Amino acid sequence: MKFLDEAKVHVRSGRGGAGAVSFRREKFIEYGGPDGGDGGRGGDVIVEAVENLNTLIDFRYQQHFKAEIGMHGMGRNRTGHSGKSIIMKVPVGTQILAEDRETLIVDMKKAGQTHLLCRGGDGGRGNSHFKSSTNQAPRRAEEGWPNEEMSVWLRLKLIADAGLVGLPNAGKSTFLAASSSARPKIADYPFTTLHPQLGVVEIDDNEFVLADIPGLIEGASEGKGIGTRFLGHLERCEVLLHLIDCADEDPVGTYRTVREELENYADILIDKPEVVALSKADQLLPEMVEEQREILEKGIGKKVFIVSGATQQGVKDVHRELRRHIVGERERRAMEGREDEGYQP
């Protein structure tokens, strides 16, 4: 299945049916009076977030969604049939934006969440509603209420607990494969990852979701390489895992390059907790790897882990560190929510 994380669709609800102008016609009843029924209500356009979807590829082949119109009313006070609503099913994590691509309409964060995108028009009233003491035979009925119509953008931001960042060939795909059952493409050339990959990591009877995105290069924020197109998928992550090739000639410069591209994209990414690790440790002698770690720790002022996806060296230690940050961020947000509600510890 191809990966698609952005799509434009046009949605239209159903207009309401018109009310009927009708009069009662029965034998031996001289003054039957009006009996025009109401029009049916038009169908709605509803968005629903569902599980087991991780791409918007379906919206490449269908861009128009139209709900049914309401049927007109009929004699004998019969109400017209209401139009069927249409439900657009999107992956969890989809944002729905207005046509300007900036105004957020709704963020579908939870499975089963629904949102009324376009409301169907109400049906018009039949002439039986307009009967009065001074107008016993009204010949007036209402037209159905108009529908709603709009174009919207769907933007998918994958739901993951931790995200992998780094230059191309930093060993991100290998680490994801060593950490989970995911089987991303792995090769000895840059940009083997062309779209985000997800894997479920199991550690100490706990699980979390790890996301791998295409590698960043200097100038990515200006469109170089694959650019920053997929960085939005990291916005929902609790922590970032920054991998740097242990054989890199300038690990400190490489670290700063990626951090600058993250900062140029959005402050929300630069402010997230970060775990730094030197990858591909199996390709150098242990003393050389240790020397690289000392250089990097001194240059960035952070603890640096050593990992090898091929030999599993240090993988579990990084998993535990990521899990610690994930739990800490969730507890922090929960406490902030309580304080907003006036909670007193």
According to the annotation, is 208 in a ligand binding site?
Answer: no
According to the annotation, is 215 in a ligand binding site?
Answer: yes
According to the annotation, is 184 in a ligand binding site?
Answer: no
According to the annotation, is 280 in a ligand binding site?
Answer: yes
**Phi, psi for residue 241 in degrees, rounded to 5:** -110, 115
- Dig out the tokens for 92 from the structure: 């969890």
- Give the Cα separation of 305 and 315 in Å (integer): 9
According to the annotation, is 163 in a ligand binding site?
Answer: no
- Give the Cα separation of 103 and 81 in Å (integer): 35
According to the annotation, is 167 in a ligand binding site?
Answer: yes
According to the annotation, is 173 in a ligand binding site?
Answer: yes
SS3 content of the chain, % helix, strand, coil (to 5): 25, 25, 50
According to the annotation, is 281 in a ligand binding site?
Answer: yes
According to the annotation, is 81 in a ligand binding site?
Answer: no
According to the annotation, is 213 in a ligand binding site?
Answer: yes
The continuous run of DSSP H or E covering 299 comes out as helix 286-300
According to the annotation, is 169 in a ligand binding site?
Answer: yes
According to the annotation, is 199 in a ligand binding site?
Answer: no
CA distances from 36 to 31, 64, 82, 123 (A): 15, 34, 16, 13
According to the annotation, is 310 in a ligand binding site?
Answer: yes
According to the annotation, is 91 in a ligand binding site?
Answer: no
According to the annotation, is 171 in a ligand binding site?
Answer: yes
According to the annotation, is 158 in a ligand binding site?
Answer: no
According to the annotation, is 195 in a ligand binding site?
Answer: yes
- Give the Cα separation of 260 and 225 in Å (integer): 15
Query: What is the layout of strands, in order, in the sheet containing 114-118?
Result: 86-91, 45-50, 114-118
According to the annotation, is 172 in a ligand binding site?
Answer: yes
Annotated binding site for Mg(2+): 173, 193
Annotated binding site: 166-173, 191-195, 212-215, 279-282, 308-310
Annotated binding site for GTP: 166-173, 191-195, 212-215, 279-282, 308-310
